[in-house]
Structure 1
Amino acid sequence: MPGTRKQVGAIGAQTVTLSFAGFNRAWAAWIADRLERRGVTVVQQRWDPPVEVPLEDALRDLMLSRGRILVLLSDWYFQVGPRGHKEWNRALREVVAPDQERFAAVSVTTSALPGATSVYAAADLTNVGADEAERRLLVRLGLPTDPLPEAAAARPGPRYPADTPEVWGGVPRRNTRFTGREELLSKAYTALQDAGTGAGVVTLHGMSGVGKTQLAAEYVYRFGSEYDVVWWVPADRRALYRQKLAELAPELGLSTGAEYGERLRAVRDSLRRGDPHPHWLLVLDGADEPEQIWDLVPTGPGHVLITSRNPEWSEHNSNLVEVPIYNREESVAFILRRAPRLTRTEADRLAEALEDLPLLLDQTAGWLNDSDMSVEEYIELLGGGIDRDVVKVSADFPLAFQTAWSILLNKLRDTVPESVDLLRLCSFFAPGSIPVRLLKEMPPGELPEQLSGLMNDPLLWNKAISQLRQYSVVRLESHEAVVDESSSGESVYLHRMVHQIVRKDMPERDAQEFIDVVRRALAAADPGRPTDTRLWPRYAEITPHLKWADVLRSTDPAVQSLVLNCLRYMYLSGEYRAGIKLGSRAMTAWGELMGEIHPRVWDLSYNYANLLRAVGDYAGTEAIERAAVDHLRTERGTHDLEHLRAASGLAADLRGLGQYDEAYEMSSWILSAYRELLGDQDSLTLSAQNNLAISLRLLGRYEEALEFNRRTLEARRQLLRQRHSWTLYSEINYATDLRLLGRYSEAESLQTQSVRVHRLVMGNENPQTLRAEHNLALCYYRSGQRSQAAELFTRVLERGERVLGESDPLTTMFAASQSCFAREHADIDQARAISEKVMEAYVDMLSDQHPYVAGTRGNHALILRNVGERDHAHHLAEDALADMGRAVGENHPWTLGCAINVAALRNLVGDPESAAALTESVTTRATEILGRTHPLTLSARIAHAADLRGLRDRQRAEKVETEALGDLAATLGAQHVHTVSARSRNRPYWDFEPQMI
């Protein structure tokens, strides 16, 4: 007998059929790899015999396989079906024992297995390293254990399953009750493997409760050994997604600062390059709104797995894998694993009653197993206890869910009533990830008696959490291996279906008490400094919960301050749409709660107006701010700080509406008042000084604007910090003034450094970062660095459209610049299409009389000139010049610029005399307003020389041109693109450039 065994081992082992449960796929892949390196042919066969096939027949079918049969023993191998130990022992004795030489086995579990598995004489691979596991495998198969040749040993292969990937975070614990879904797992795996570099994105989509998250988690555990990095990110909210993705930076060993914008940029760049890890898997859980985060989905050599109820991910280069409800066989298998006391017939009836919905099966079977209630009684209760007139809690899960939940809540009340209190507290946070630590961090004296015991007694808290976890009501969000089973972790996850039904089922008195606790917990978590970019992740965590805690109905000053700070954060971080929605609701709610003239309402109106102004609703904000200014001036006087803040907002509205003189007068008075009240170096004074500089720039008074912005920048660097968002904002303003004065190299130098810091501190997608990059693109353009300008103009516009929307003021400003650049250096058709959209956007946002409308029409006239529509171009340019003159005055640089373009078109339509007269007038006025060496003045002088040549006045033309060329060379340099162009007698033009207000 021993001799026979040796012969089978030596010969038959050249081909091995590996039989494994799908749950152990990672082990199967590793074992197959180790054997194939030694020349063994391995046929992998997943063990999943149909329930209706007797186990003996299934084992006989397995014996039809080629060569030696290697069985991978685990709990799961024997649970497939599931089948009991008694059935297994009988089948092993009958089929395997008589022919045991065909079989070998390795074990990867320490759990008790059916007694008859001893027939396999399994090698134990648990609790050993990879080398020892491989040695034991080879010995069991009778194969040599000599070291492999160097080439074979160095070949990359699957990671040893007991070793986790180098970077691992946020992944839920493995669900030991996971059932079925083999085809879905295989489909997702194949789709990711077959995708090209940068295209490995798969979305598991389906209705609520079908187990998308559990499927994604199982995918991670089955295939995670193939990755160096596995990172799980909640993706139901953009801000939270950004925060959690940024937390990957230190895990990747990236050298970054503390700012999460810097970390986010570094992570995305690292994943894109595949450095330091090319094999990464990112799981985006609960990404139900693709438009909110699709632009943040990393590309690169790794894979992205998304769970979502929304099939629209197919429009964003993702493969869809639909996750349906369980089939009946899966439902029955799952119930029997969850509730072993039930029979197969009872499980089938229960599955039918619960419509095969995995979440409902999990929760119901869990407590039914502990209950004395029969399945028949439960189904009768489920069917007869539903009020058929009750509206469904949600359209995408069964009506039976409502009754099932009523039963479950009663069960929880009878066993651990504190778990119901905790669950109800959680329902006043947003569904999904709930930061329960905020509740535990509250001062004990602030809690009502009903809840103080729960919060202050760790044993009671953990008991409540454990009870909810036992029935799959919540799952833990802190899932690292060190977390104890009873630990609450940092947060819990509450499914939205559960969230809805719990809130609906709550008595009014309890609801009021619980919601008050959650409001105070959120208020206590307020960092208090929304201007500090380092605290933005904390605000990102808080803001989604405001709606669910109904904070707008609270009269607590701390809660109201939280609302104001969140609005400020949303404004500064660029979350305009969410901020406007919150602000609009708050204006209505606080007006009803406190009255229209309450001081808190004025605070609110200021923050709300900032958000509206950010999206270009200047008329709407003017109405809000004028009402505030008039009331506060009457009630408190002109030098009241609240009145001055409202007046500052009104001045910004006036700038937006093109009323620059009035805005300047108001800004000057506001700055004087702040200086008188607070001194020169107070932060509010510096903000007023910043705003006055903006008014001066819009009036064309660039030198004065530069001086104010220089002083503001220096003071902010001293008072705040180098990386404070307001300091960075002043850098943009100062660099803009330098550029508008023709000091291009200085502007580019400052703006290049500032862009780098913006990206690190505020992130690539922040509106202020986009502004900084846009100004840098303009610096490149003016300096003649066309390739750098082209790339940056395109990137900024694309991101502006994606992040802010096509009609946003910033996006429209970016589009105006892109159109001008494309007109001269790219695609004239593209330039025309963009220009038409820009003109339309400004008319919709502002009015026909606004200077931005006139300026962009002047730009469009140049496009029409280039495509040969001379008459149309001439009429449009003349209209733009007249409209600009009426809007800002005859001597404004914008009007002078329009006139340079009009003169060129007058020449084209055969009116050289008036063209020469116009450029002579522009030269005189520009010299007086801007100086003889300002770029606009120099353009006017070169244009005038060209007009004089057109009139055949060569002597004057030569004199004007020679002097202008000398000044160009002295000011910009002999080889600057403007100097070279003028020397080549290319007629200059002028681009209107919209400014932020």
Structure 2
Amino acid sequence: MLHSVELTAVSAGRDLRIDQRTVHQLIEVGTLQPERRPPPTRPVRLAPRPPRLAGREGLLAVIRDRLTSLGPSPRLLALHGLGGVGKTSVAVEYAHRHQDDYGLIWQLAAEDTTTLSAGYGELATLLGARDLVDSADPVAQVHAALATRTDRWLLLLDNVADAAAIHDLLPPAGDGHVLLTTRSAHWPDTLDLEVPVLDRKVAAEYLMASAAEGDAHSAATLAGELGSLPLALDQAASYLRATGRKLHEYLELLREHRAELLSRGLPWGYAAPVLSTWDLSLQRLQSSDPAAITLLRLLACCAPEAIPYRLLLPPDSEPPVFEDPGIGPLVEPLLQDVFAVEDAITGLRRFSLVGPPSGGAVSMHRLVQAVTLDRLRSEHRSAWRRAVAALVEAAMPDDPHRPETWAVYATLFPHARATLRPDSPGVLKLVDYLGASGDYRTAQVVQEEVHTDSVERLGAEHPDALRAHTALAKWTGMAGNPTAARDMLARLLPVCDRVWGSHDTETLSVEVHLADWTGQAGDWARARDICAAVLPRRRRLSGDDHPETLRVWSELGFWTGQAGDAAGARAHFDELLPIKERVLGAEHPDVLASRDQYARWVGETGDPATARDICTTLLALHERISGAENHGTLWIRGNHAWWTGKAGDPVAARDLYAGLLSVRERVSGPEHPATLVARGNLAYWTAHAGDPASARDQFAALLPIRRRILGPEHPETLLVQSNLIHWTGEAGDPAGARDQFTVMLASCEQTLGTEHWVTLNVRDKLAMWTARCAG
């Protein structure tokens, strides 16, 4: 029986050269006669197997498949990725796992071509290849020996600089595999395989096992802070084992002393800790590609994922004004031509410091960002962050209310959040974009930060803080809590009276907002009365023709109708519309909005056909003025469909809403509030067109979306729930409708009160279904 002897290096990434005295230990012995040993047939030189390799089964399977698939021999595969991502560990694990498939396995340090050539010399001697070709060329000798072997072989070339550095060192022939590790991402598609960071769940489980504790929350948070980078995870695990600290303690240390903590300890199998593992790459870039270093610092200030470098650095563009005069000369070269940024990206990809570019964006590991910025003095870090903030603001479209700008705002949003101060003009644009696109909850979160910042900087009663507070109330209401919005404004109004005076325009504006959210919270009569009290003061202050006077006048008409006086609201708009048209012009958006309101009250007073005809005229005007897919046009289109149904044609209303919904989903997004209104109205007219079961199913699909976006107690959510229950009864389950309305009524009475209009509506529905079940 033949026996093999393995010599393993101490760890991957260290010097793998061996003394010539050990060469003869690497041969297989065929007999016990020491004076006549056969030539070596199974040399193995391989780093020790990683003691614990988590989350790499899928990657190892891909490596096996890529190396053993049909194709010319030898087969080459380049494992590339960020320093510390575990490329060498994966390669070594693969070799250990499949060592029985190879007659030769040899690992060589390849970062320096001279060291690699010397390693080839050692292997040539071992293989007895010194006489095959010119003895002065060990590379050619090894190539010749490998080409003639009848068994399969595996070479591991560790830490290759790039493809050009080893082009002439790769075996040209033979039944073998070459598996190399490299930070360079520049390889042909057929040869490269990127080694990603670990899945966050796997990383968290690894940390819990290493710390021997079950704090899943701290483990997941720490895994996120470390970006699931294997080197950082191993370094953390080593520190935890050595010190006995808990996961939450390490997390606190990382946040407070990141640079020092990441420089401590050297995990098994790695040549350097996290903090220094990218130093050489950064040093090389600093001397050879200063534009790449500039781009690296800019990207390091952004959020880590999908950094839109083309948006931030458009070619042939004027740079914004940077606060630090030293930044401009560094950034300007990146804006000079179309290739400048692309070349800098290529430079960063040489060391896998950024992910592969896609659609003008790249990702960057959060620890690379941290290390890049930690290498700068504090004042320089601040200057680079301010520079990126200026680039982000410059990239923002002018009008965040236009749907065609929303994709750009969505792309910039995480990077704006990472760089913009709360008092930046760009933050107000972000809030407007969020509101226009229907993301009221996030608008509320961002506006709350704006308000908090203004209070901390200026004081709670500074005019800017009061305006920020008013805006916060607005987004609180829009996010599904009109009662909280009302209460916020009610508390704010006396402060405004004290700061500005009760007859100041800004105080009156707050009072009108209070009326609006009072009505939205269900007290329509009170909203009407507030508007009635504000209107004469506004008229005295600004005159009858002032736009704000006309706005309050319109609000008074709206809440008059909502409070149950549709005829009064119609008469109100009969009086108001001629004034608005005279002051603003017949085609002004506010005039068109008032004509739309007028149509509603015409319909509510019993003339839906006239309401439909008014909407028909308005729709043509909107399409001509603003285009067929403008938000206002689409809103009028929905109202036209509604009054078409109310005028006696529910089938046409259903079909009109079906057509509107497809446009809304494309233009505004599937979860925009206006899209959801269209979905609800489509379900309503589907039922009235004779298909209550389909309506029930449509409301059932809509309800969880409404709950998630607006909350379970928002009136719009409750109306969808009420419709779902009602059409459940109409579809054949009256007892189910009765029982569900019983539960819903108790909930509404508890959360909204017994006299809220939603509560009253549910009470009426319960009475109806109770009677139908009894009869």
**Alpha-carbon distance in structure 1 between the residues aligned to 2:89 and 2:365:** 33
**CA shift for structure 1 position 465:** 5.9
Aligned residue number for residue 456 of structure 1: 332
1:478 aligns with 2:357: yes
**Alpha-carbon distance in structure 2 between the residues aligned to 1:703 and 1:479:** 53
Aligned residue number for residue 405 of structure 2: 535
Aligned residue number for residue 103 of structure 1: 151
Partner amino acid, structure 2, of 1:446: V
Correspondence for 1:754 among 651, 660, 663 = 660
Partner amino acid, structure 2, of 1:452: G
Q: Answer whether contact 2:561 2:601 (CA < 8 A) is retained.
A: yes
Correspondence for 2:580 among 659, 662, 674 = 674
1:524 aligns with 2:436: no
**Alpha-carbon distance in structure 2 between the residues aligned to 1:640 and 1:597:** 27
**CA shift for structure 1 position 617:** 0.4
1:353 aligns with 2:229: no
Q: Answer whether contact 2:150 2:175 (CA < 8 A) is retained.
A: no
- SS of 2:612's partner is helix
TM value normalised by structure 2? 0.59
**Alpha-carbon distance in structure 1 between the residues aligned to 2:414 and 2:559:** 29
Relative to structure 1, the CA distance from residue 691 to residue 434 in structure 2 (aligned partners, 3 Å threshold; closer, same or farther) is farther
**Alpha-carbon distance in structure 1 between the residues aligned to 2:635 and 2:721:** 21
Relative to structure 1, the CA distance from residue 179 to residue 103 in structure 2 (aligned partners, 3 Å threshold; closer, same or farther) is farther
Correspondence for 2:224 among 191, 195, 208 = 208
What runs of 5+ residues in structure 2 fail to find an aligned partner?
A: 1-45, 50-55, 72-86, 130-144, 158-162, 180-186, 207-219, 239-260, 491-508, 514-530
**Alpha-carbon distance in structure 1 between the residues aligned to 2:106 and 2:555:** 71
Relative to structure 1, the CA distance from residue 617 to residue 422 in structure 2 (aligned partners, 3 Å threshold; closer, same or farther) is same
Aligned residue number for residue 704 of structure 2: 798
Relative to structure 1, the CA distance from residue 175 to residue 692 in structure 2 (aligned partners, 3 Å threshold; closer, same or farther) is same
**Alpha-carbon distance in structure 2 between the residues aligned to 1:510 and 1:718:** 51
> Which residues of 2 match residues 74-113 of structure 1 at below 5 A?
90=122, 94=126, 101-104=149-152
1:578 aligns with 2:427: no
Aligned-residue sequence identity (percent) comes to 18
> Which residues of 2 match residues 343-422 of structure 1 at below 5 A?
353=265, 361-367=273-279
Q: Cα RMSD between the aligned structures?
A: 6.0
Q: Answer whether contact 1:531 1:572 (CA < 8 A) is retained.
A: yes
**Alpha-carbon distance in structure 1 between the residues aligned to 2:632 and 2:436:** 10
Relative to structure 1, the CA distance from residue 724 to residue 435 in structure 2 (aligned partners, 3 Å threshold; closer, same or farther) is same
User: Mean alpha-carbon deviation: is it higher for 113-122 or for 25-34?
Assistant: 113-122
Deviations 1:422-452 (A, max 9, x none): 6776576545444444553563472352222
1:121 aligns with 2:174: yes
Partner amino acid, structure 2, of 1:495: R
**Alpha-carbon distance in structure 1 between the residues aligned to 2:375 and 2:572:** 52
**CA shift for structure 1 position 756:** 2.2
**CA shift for structure 1 position 818:** 0.6
- SS of 1:353's partner is coil
Aligned residue number for residue 474 of structure 2: 609
Relative to structure 1, the CA distance from residue 102 to residue 47 in structure 2 (aligned partners, 3 Å threshold; closer, same or farther) is farther
- SS of 1:553's partner is coil
> Which residues of 2 match residues 196-235 of structure 1 at below 5 A?
207-208=223-224, 210=226, 212=228
Aligned residue number for residue 743 of structure 1: 649
Aligned residue number for residue 729 of structure 2: 823
> Which residues of 2 match residues 459-858 of structure 1 at below 5 A?
469=348, 475=354, 478-479=357-358, 490=361, 493=364, 495=366, 498=369, 502=373, 507=378, 511=382, 517-554=387-424, 559=425, 562-587=426-451, 605=470, 609=474, 612-613=477-478, 615-617=480-482, 620-621=485-486, 623=490, 625-626=510-511, 630=534, 635-645=541-551, 671-694=577-600, 702-703=608-609, 705-825=611-731, 827=733, 831=737, 834-836=740-742, 838-839=744-745, 842-843=748-749, 846-858=752-764
Q: Answer whether contact 1:571 1:611 (CA < 8 A) is retained.
A: no
Correspondence for 2:313 among 436, 440, 464 = 440
Relative to structure 1, the CA distance from residue 578 to residue 501 in structure 2 (aligned partners, 3 Å threshold; closer, same or farther) is farther
**Alpha-carbon distance in structure 2 between the residues aligned to 1:846 and 1:462:** 57
**Alpha-carbon distance in structure 2 between the residues aligned to 1:503 and 1:642:** 52
**CA shift for structure 1 position 822:** 1.0
**CA shift for structure 1 position 207:** 0.7
Equivalent residues, number? 592
Deviations 1:586-614 (A, max 9, x none): 45656876997969976995796366246
**Alpha-carbon distance in structure 2 between the residues aligned to 1:767 and 1:702:** 25
Partner amino acid, structure 1, of 2:652: E
Deviations 1:846-875 (A, max 9, x none): 54323332121111223434565xxxxxxx
**CA shift for structure 1 position 728:** 1.5
Partner amino acid, structure 1, of 2:482: D
Deviations 1:461-493 (A, max 9, x none): 86996799489895256258xxxxxxxx65563
**Alpha-carbon distance in structure 1 between the residues aligned to 2:602 and 2:713:** 26
Q: Answer whether contact 1:797 1:815 (CA < 8 A) is retained.
A: yes
User: Mean alpha-carbon deviation: is it higher for 836-845 or for 526-535?
Assistant: 836-845
What runs of 5+ residues in structure 1 fail to find an aligned partner?
A: 1-18, 36-45, 127-160, 166-172, 189-203, 216-321, 329-348, 372-410, 481-488, 869-907, 909-997
Relative to structure 1, the CA distance from residue 419 to residue 788 in structure 2 (aligned partners, 3 Å threshold; closer, same or farther) is same
- SS of 1:475's partner is coil
**Alpha-carbon distance in structure 2 between the residues aligned to 1:357 and 1:768:** 57
Relative to structure 1, the CA distance from residue 789 to residue 180 in structure 2 (aligned partners, 3 Å threshold; closer, same or farther) is closer
Deviations 1:219-259 (A, max 9, x none): xxxxxxxxxxxxxxxxxxxxxxxxxxxxxxxxxxxxxxxxx
Partner amino acid, structure 1, of 2:651: S
Relative to structure 1, the CA distance from residue 641 to residue 418 in structure 2 (aligned partners, 3 Å threshold; closer, same or farther) is farther
Partner amino acid, structure 1, of 2:442: A
Aligned residue number for residue 31 of structure 2: none
Q: Answer whether contact 1:325 1:357 (CA < 8 A) is retained.
A: no
TM value normalised by structure 1? 0.48
Q: Answer whether contact 1:209 1:360 (CA < 8 A) is retained.
A: no
Aligned residue number for residue 290 of structure 1: none
